[in-house]
């Protein structure tokens, strides 16, 4: 390698270092995130309930972060909700739905995109559900329908208020199965 190729290689290294952008994973694992004025410590954002003190942007938060704010850190009971059969339509588009579910579960540590808990606010017991946008955009498939109904059933049986924090919309991968859940089960009828 002569001096010219050495210089060219060094230049390429500098160029790639400058252009290398942080991956989503790098950002997720970092103590920092960014907002209107550039980098901001996640710790500072958390102290302000994940709302930017400068521009008032509400940063995206996960169900546990939301419940920590509502009920106090880890001061709530998380329920295991029924998980129906995965991928009833055997759906594939650019990727198979089974693979999408697998990576969403790995990414979030949740079985479905909706978490159901029970906690206390001002001495009032509350049943609450919240969805996680990182789980397939918090879309409502059959499992999320089951979780939602589980929460309602729990609220009825325990005579608590029911609080729902939604973060997404419908899910085409399960077709109408998310709606079938409500017809199929005796969650709320006759109550
Ligand atoms: Zn901001």
Task: Identify the three-state secondary structure at position 117.
Answer: strand
Q: Both ends of the chain: CA-CA distance in Å?
A: 81
Mention the CATH class of domain 61-191: alpha beta
C-alpha atoms less than 13 angstroms from C-alpha of 80 in its C-beta half-sphere: 0
CA 45 – ligand 1 centroid, Å: 10
CA 60 – ligand 1 centroid, Å: 13
State residue 108's pLDDT score: 93
CA 57 – ligand 1 centroid, Å: 5
**Ranges of each domain in the chain:** 1-60, 61-191
Tell me the mean pLDDT in the region 51-71.
Answer: 95
State residue 9's pLDDT score: 82
CA 108 – ligand 1 centroid, Å: 25
How would you list the strands of the sheet with 162-165, edge to edge? 76-78, 114-121, 124-131, 162-165
Q: Work out the mean pLDDT of the chain and round it to a whole number.
A: 85
CA 52 – ligand 1 centroid, Å: 5
CA 27 – ligand 1 centroid, Å: 16
| 20 vs 88 pLDDT, higher one | 88
Residues 176 and 174: their CA atoms lie apart, in Å, by 6
C-alpha atoms less than 13 angstroms from C-alpha of 144 in its C-beta half-sphere: 28
Tell me the mean pLDDT in the region 99-119.
Answer: 94
Q: Which of 11-20, 85-94, 176-185 has the highest mean pLDDT?
A: 85-94
Nearest to 148 by CA among 184, 105, 181: 181
Model pTM score: 0.74
Tell me the mean pLDDT in the region 53-79.
Answer: 95
Give the pLDDT confidence of 152-191 residue by residue, as tens digits: 999 999 999 999 998 876 665 665 555 554 444 444 433 3
- For the chain, percent of residues with pLDDT exceeding 70: 84
> 91 pLDDT exceeds 90?
no
CA 51 – ligand 1 centroid, Å: 8
CA 30 – ligand 1 centroid, Å: 18
Nearest to 144 by CA among 119, 122, 166, 126: 166
Nearest to 113 by CA among 126, 102, 104: 104
Task: Identify the three-state secondary structure at position 40.
Answer: strand
């Amino acid at each position: 390698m002569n001096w010219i190729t050495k210089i060219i290689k060094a230049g390429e290294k500098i160029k790639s270092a400058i252009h290398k952008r942080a991956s989503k994973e790098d950002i997720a694992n970092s103590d920092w995130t960014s907002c209107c004025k550039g980098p901001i410590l996640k710790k500072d954002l958390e102290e302000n309930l994940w709302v930017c003190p400068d521009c008032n942007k509400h940063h995206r938060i996960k169900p546990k972060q939301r419940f920590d704010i509502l009920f106090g850190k880890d001061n709530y009971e998380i329920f295991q909700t029924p998980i129906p059969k995965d991928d009833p339509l055997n759906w594939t588009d650019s990727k198979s739905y089974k693979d999408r579910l697998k990576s969403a579960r790995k990414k979030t540590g949740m079985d479905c995109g909706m978490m159901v808990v029970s906690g206390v606010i001002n001495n009032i017991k509350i049943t609450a559900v919240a969805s996680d946008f990182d789980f397939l955009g918090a879309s409502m498939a059959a499992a999320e329908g089951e979780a939602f109904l589980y929460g309602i059933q729990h609220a009825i049986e325990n005579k608590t208020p029911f609080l729902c924090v939604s973060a997404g919309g419908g899910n085409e991968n399960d077709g109408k199965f998310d709606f079938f859940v409500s017809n199929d089960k005796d969650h709320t009828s006759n109550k």
